Structure 1
């Protein structure tokens, strides 16, 4: 049973690991922090995988866990990431190198996004992923109306940052 769960997790994770990389890109500013956050997201996903009921798509659940992990870690005043040893299964994950070529073209946007608060970052991230407002609301645990209002405000804030 444990082996089946592990195999299913590895399959789901490998198909969707770019989600974690993108969240790491938004919430970190250097390679080491990116790697640490990616590891912590992976650990949190594995620790909570047995609780994943399948009520939503795996990717939606992964967004929620990854965003909550990133927000929780980076709200701490110390800004340090506590890591845990996950060597029991780490060798089984085929981590691909993160290719940030496309994101380098969006450097101004990312710099602006870094100036947003945590919730605004999550909203913009999900918006850029072409997620519908219902899925954004479900992922963040807010109503669709609230998601639209917050998104409008976040877009306006980004516009002011990019075009002072």
Structure 2
């Protein structure tokens, strides 16, 4: 494949799956500038890894795996710790506030819960809230489906316990 064709294929795939990059950056970036930088880092890493992309596999799955690895590495290297100032920017992942006080409060509590998770579990919840299958989550995160099910079950119990208080 020529460099130009490869570039065009990459641009088309990134354009079609831009939501992957935005959602991951929104879940991990603390401020608007952090999110922009993270989006750029993710796209750069996707481009760098693109020659190894196997078109027989789903691009979104491959892109999520790389995007989450970039984001988790950024969180660890930058020392970003518990909580995200920018979690409200992740409204497209968790749902926008609809003007209903009870729903808005529940969404705020869910955002707070997710913000308190470690990077791996935050990624797991992002994918779960996007209705990804356990198999796809396992593939993206590089863990077993059983581990995915266990972590999601634990997170649900922890969230229920927090919501009861």
Task: State the TM-score bracket (shorter-chain normalisation).
Answer: 0.7 to 0.9
Aligned to 1:148: 149
Change in Cα spacing, 1:50 to 1:136, as seen in structure 2 (3 Å) is same
| Structure 1 or 2: more helix by fraction | 2
CA gap 1:159/1:36 in 2 versus in 1, 3 angstroms: farther
Aligned-residue offset at 1:152: 0.8
Call closer, same or farther: CA 1:55–1:150 in 2, change over 3 Å: farther
State the Cα distance separating 1:104 from its structure 2 match. 4.5
**Alpha-carbon distance change, 141 to 99 in structure 1, aligned in 2, over 3 angstroms:** closer
3-state secondary structure, aligned to 1:76: helix
Instruction: Write the distance in 1 (CA, Å) between the matches of 2:53 and 2:132.
Output: 20
Deviation of residue 153 (structure 1)? 1.1
- Decide whether aligned partners of structure 1 residues 69 and 162 sit closer, same or farther in structure 2, where only a CA change above 3 A counts: farther
Q: Which moved more, 1:4-13 or 1:135-144?
A: 135-144
- For the aligned residue pairs, the C-alpha RMSD in angstroms reads 2.1
What is the alpha-carbon distance in structure 2 between the residues aligned to residue 119 and residue 42 of structure 1?
A: 20
Q: What are the superposed Cα offsets for residues 7-33 of structure 1, whole Å, 9 maximum, x if unpaired?
A: 000000000011111111111222111
After TM superposition, the score normalised by the length of structure 1 is 0.80
Give me the whole-angstrom Cα distance separating, in 2, the residues matched to 1:32 and 1:159: 33
Following superposition of structure 1 onto structure 2, how do residues 116-131 of structure 1 map, counting pairs within 5 Å? 116-131=117-132
TM-score computed with the length of structure 2 as normaliser: 0.80
- Conserved 8 A contact 2:23-2:90: no
1:9 aligns with 2:10: yes
Deviations along 1:101-158, one digit per CA (max 9) or x if unpaired, are 7854244422221100111101101101110101111111111111100111122223
The aligned residue for residue 62 of structure 2 is 61
1:1-164 paired onto structure 2 within 5 Å: 1-79=2-80, 103-105=95-97, 106-164=107-165
CA contact (8 A) 2:26 2:90 kept: no
1:33-75 CA-to-partner distances (Å, cap 9, x unmatched) read 1101111101100110111012420000000000011011101
Q: After the TM superposition, which segments of 4 or more aligned residues of structure 1 sit over 6 Å from their partners?
A: none
Instruction: Structure 2: give runs of 5+ residues left out of the alignment.
Output: 81-88, 98-106
